[in-house]
Amino acid sequence: MNLMKNIMCPGLLILGICGMTWSYQDYRTLSNFVMGLVDFNRNRRGSWEVLREEYAPVLIDFLILSPIADDKRTATVTLHTRSPIDVDMPAYTLRDYSLHWQVTSLDGNTTFAKGDIPLPKLTPASQWSGNIEFTSPTAQYIIFVSIIRPTGYCVIEHSYSAKGELIP
């Protein structure tokens, strides 16, 4: 009889099979196992950044800093889009995305330079490289690089030290 119900309403069978669900919000099991990307107060957990990078259609490969010349530095940013779709997802053409960069003090209270670079149309499995030029601050600094969707939301962001090392 139950089998007939499931044939008539297949959603019941799927509901019975799924034992664990993904949860954006804080969720605790009876054994106090914590799930979700944000806690009860909507503060992001460490899994937030991991999931964001896993679902990003574009990845920042590296940033290379040139030596200081006339108080100026050039940072070369290289990125690539995901592909092929049967191996690496999400893979789709990026239109009207931009690269946002910012040079700040270590505590983030002072912004020394910032800018946006419009990205060209990027098809799956394509690479792009571009230069960021800024006056080198005398104080220690961090370089933030973000890829921004046409909607204004950040896809992925990385921060780099004044030596060009990725800051986890």
Spans of all domains in the chain:
23-54, 57-167
Average pLDDT, the chain: 84
CA distance 153 to 143: 19
Task: Assign 83 a pLDDT band (cuts: 50, 70, 90).
Answer: confident
Identify the band that residue 7 occupies on the pLDDT scale cut at 50, 70 and 90: very low
Tell me how far apart the alpha carbons of residues 126 and 95 are, in angstroms, rounded to a whole number: 13
Please choose, from the candidates 164, 136, 143, 144, the residue with its C-alpha nearest in 3D space to the C-alpha of residue 72: 136
Q: What is the dihedral of CA 27, 151, 55, 31, to 10 degrees?
A: 0
CATH topology of domain 57-167: Immunoglobulin-like (2.60.40)
- pTM of the entire structure? 0.76
